[in-house]
Structure 1
Amino acid sequence: MRVSVPTIPDSVLRNAQQTVKVTPAYAIERISRFLGHGSGKTAVLTGAGVSVDSGIRAYRGHRGSYLNPNYKPIFYHELMEPTAKGAGFRQRYWLRSYLGYPPVRDAQPNPTHFALAALQYSSITPHVITQNVDGLHHKAIHHVWNAERREKGILELHGTLHSVKCSHGHTMERQQFQDMLGEANPQWKAFAEELERTNSRPRTNPDGDVVLPEGTRYDQFIVPECPSCLRENRRNSMIKPEVIFFGESIPAEVRDRSFDIIDQNDRLLVVGTTLATFSAFRLVKRAVQNHKPVLVLNVGHTRAQELAAVETIDMPAGAVLRDVVKQVLGSGAAENKTVAKMLESGVVRTPPDDYDDPVPRPTGL
């Protein structure tokens, strides 16, 4: 099986026109007008760029290429292969994810998450479709929306890192499985605790994968068996996070719901994504085909540049979205205490742009 990692097609990058630089004031005014100053309904589609200010790296840079040139993801068919080879892929994945999950788990929403939450709370953007698996959109609005309301308003297109599922369909909270991984691998647990104590966590991709040095003995890492399967007298360590891996199909109900959201709303605002994955790009194409306005707010090139009907603003969302909310809501942004608090909330912890983060080097493993 040959499965490729999605990226922006070279033909798009070659033919992309030079992006016109605009001022923040222009961007704020243009996005506010796009949102209709509160009239109509707008769907929002977000990507990894939204979470950068929370300390989670984006996959791709300004030109659409991977920020980590050595990034080698594990594909779905590799991870879930019921052979010794598949078991080896699971050892590699879960060791790297065991170290990479805590930074994602502990990340906090940034001002962009809260600005989008304020627009949702105010019914300007009823639905957010996110490609991110970090759960930060949920964190930004959990204090005013219960779990049922969040599930209706936020569609996680590519799943979530915060739960896991075995090959027989049993699920559990990710932190429970994280604890099981630590108990089964006490040396790595001690190493992970040392990373947290010294705040020297390794480079982490948006999917929780980390870089480890050449020569790491993945074959010595123990992947626990599913406890529910054990209770059914079955041994099964074929476990994966509830994330859509490269080469894995999005569930039909998620795909159909994403289409419904595009169809239900009057326009589409795209924030912080190159749209390299087809699952996201096809939503933009669907909106265009249905003659709905599409505005992209992103730094650098996007796949949407092959669609003439799509308008693009090249700017970080964090530079403008708070002011967009204030302009769209007018005096209500200050008078509504919930919205006002959202617009004062958010961490900013931008990761460095370099490729050469220190690689953790455990001893005695």
Structure 2
Amino acid sequence: IGVESQDGWTIDAHPIHGAAASTNHPPVGSSFRTYRPIYFHEFVANHAARKRYWARSFLGWTNLNKSKPNPAHRAVADLGRLGYLSSVITQTHPSLRTLELHGYLRSAVCTTCRTEYDRQLFQNDLAQLNPAWSDFLNEMLASGALTTENPDERRRLGLKTNPDGDVDVPGVDYATFRYPACPSCLAKPPTDKDGKRHVVEVDVDGAWLAGNSTAGILKPNVIMFGESIPDTTKVAAEKAIDEASRVLVLGSSLATYSAWRLVKRAREQAMPVGIVNIGGVRGEDQFFGHLSTGNTGKEGLRCAHILEEMLPSLVTELSQRSTAPLTASAMARPFVPAPWA
């Protein structure tokens, strides 16, 4: 995208970015074609499902925790500093500390009391509760099976990894895996909506026990499939859209309704919509059907570019301009970049 065609997209723009901004791949990739994630209702209701989830997450966390922002992420922060963005909504879980529509992986959260726990400390607890699994993880790390980016090499070593940190080891029995209970609920069990005291039971090592336990289950602090987004997050996202003059979608197919409806909300207010994504986009005809044949980009924009290449180049060109299009005082909320930027 040339700078001239970006003129209509630089004032009070509100970007929504998805998985492709983090992976540099089309959002609908082969890694998800045979991968069925655990749904929220399964996780909260099924002890075995939680064992499976946390075992696979335990194996994938070490590398996932090493993930760093790529040039596209840093360019988004730079565009904010230059005054071209008012706020950012992210759909993925990279812990970039913007408005995180679907949560983040940097912590676990109790499904009962909503207390959060640092994910790395939780990882340490998992290692202590599962010494055999910890040894297996160390062996996999030493072999390079979890660090190689070559999918063929991973398959040769008997592993299948997914972008959300899930690691599948064929033939493994997850029944032996243990996970801790929420420390807060364990120390002081809360009451339910009827005033009855919850029960939290653990084994001698502190692992959560099924049977009598009715609380203290820890889950990843992300919106799982089938789980509702908190009302506070919905309101914040809608407010960010309403306070913008246009919306720019970066690296997202808008496959999830929660993201698609925000762009639809913008169009219902006659805001121009720009989408930069490799691959298809859900219902994109609704966003661009009104464009005139002489549109130069100000009415709307749809293109396919590699974000890691396009956005840094755009930042370089825009930074050479003498004045920014939007000062902090003119923004509804001053842009605050993520701490890594």
TM over 0.5: yes
Instruction: Give the AA of the match of 1:68.
Output: F
In the other structure, the counterpart of 2:315 is 325
In the other structure, the counterpart of 1:157 is 101
Q: CA deviation at 1:193?
A: 1.9
2:80 is matched with which residue: 116, 120, 127? 120
1:228 is matched with which residue: 184, 206, 213? 184
What per-residue deviation string (whole Å, max 9, x for no partner) do you get for residues 130-185 of structure 1?
Answer: 001111x34xxxxxxxxxxxxxxx20000001111122222211111111111111
Contact 1:268/1:293, CA 8 A, preserved across alignment: yes
Residue correspondences, number: 279
User: Aligned in 2, Cα 1:295/1:178: closer, same or farther, shift over 3 Å?
Assistant: same
Q: CA deviation at 1:229?
A: 2.0
What per-residue deviation string (whole Å, max 9, x for no partner) do you get for residues 32-91 of structure 1?
Answer: 32324xxx20101000001115xxx76513xxxx5332111110000001xxxx000000
Q: In structure 1, what is the Cα distance between the partners aligned to 2:308 and 2:232?
A: 32
TM-score by length of 1: 0.71
1:242 is matched with which residue: 221, 238, 251? 221
Larger Rg: 2
Of the structure 1 ranges 323-332 and 102-111, higher mean CA displacement relative to structure 2 is found in 323-332
2:31 is matched with which residue: 67, 91, 95? 67
Superposed counterparts of 1:338-357, under 5 Å: none
User: Aligned in 2, Cα 1:281/1:79: closer, same or farther, shift over 3 Å?
Assistant: same
Q: In structure 2, what is the Cα distance between the partners aligned to 1:280 and 1:303?
A: 10
> Could you tell me the percent identity over the aligned residues?
35
1:46 is matched with which residue: 7, 17, 36? 17
The reply to whether residue 104 of structure 1 matches residue 104 of structure 2 is no
Instruction: Give the AA of the match of 1:133.
Output: H
More helix per residue: 1 or 2? 1
Instruction: Give the AA of the match of 1:88.
Output: A
What per-residue deviation string (whole Å, max 9, x for no partner) do you get for residues 262-300 of structure 1?
Answer: 110111110011100000000110111111111001101
Q: CA deviation at 1:205?
A: 2.8
Q: In structure 1, what is the Cα distance between the partners aligned to 2:71 and 2:217?
A: 38
Instruction: Give the AA of the match of 1:174.
Output: R
> Any stretches of 5+ residues in structure 1 without a counterpart?
1-26, 139-153, 334-341, 347-365
Q: CA deviation at 1:308?
A: 4.3
The reply to whether residue 92 of structure 1 matches residue 52 of structure 2 is yes
1:207 is matched with which residue: 140, 164, 177? 164
Q: CA RMSD in A?
A: 2.3
Contact 1:59/1:206, CA 8 A, preserved across alignment: no
User: Aligned in 2, Cα 1:89/1:237: closer, same or farther, shift over 3 Å?
Assistant: farther
Q: CA deviation at 1:206?
A: 3.4
The reply to whether residue 76 of structure 1 matches residue 43 of structure 2 is no
Contact 2:275/2:302, CA 8 A, preserved across alignment: yes
TM-score by length of 2: 0.76
Q: CA deviation at 1:237?
A: 5.2
What per-residue deviation string (whole Å, max 9, x for no partner) do you get for residues 180-234 of structure 1?
Answer: 1111111111121222333321544333222221x21011111222222221263
> Any stretches of 5+ residues in structure 2 without a counterpart?
147-158, 190-199, 202-214, 289-299, 324-336
Instruction: Give the AA of the match of 2:135.
Output: A
The reply to whether residue 303 of structure 1 matches residue 282 of structure 2 is yes
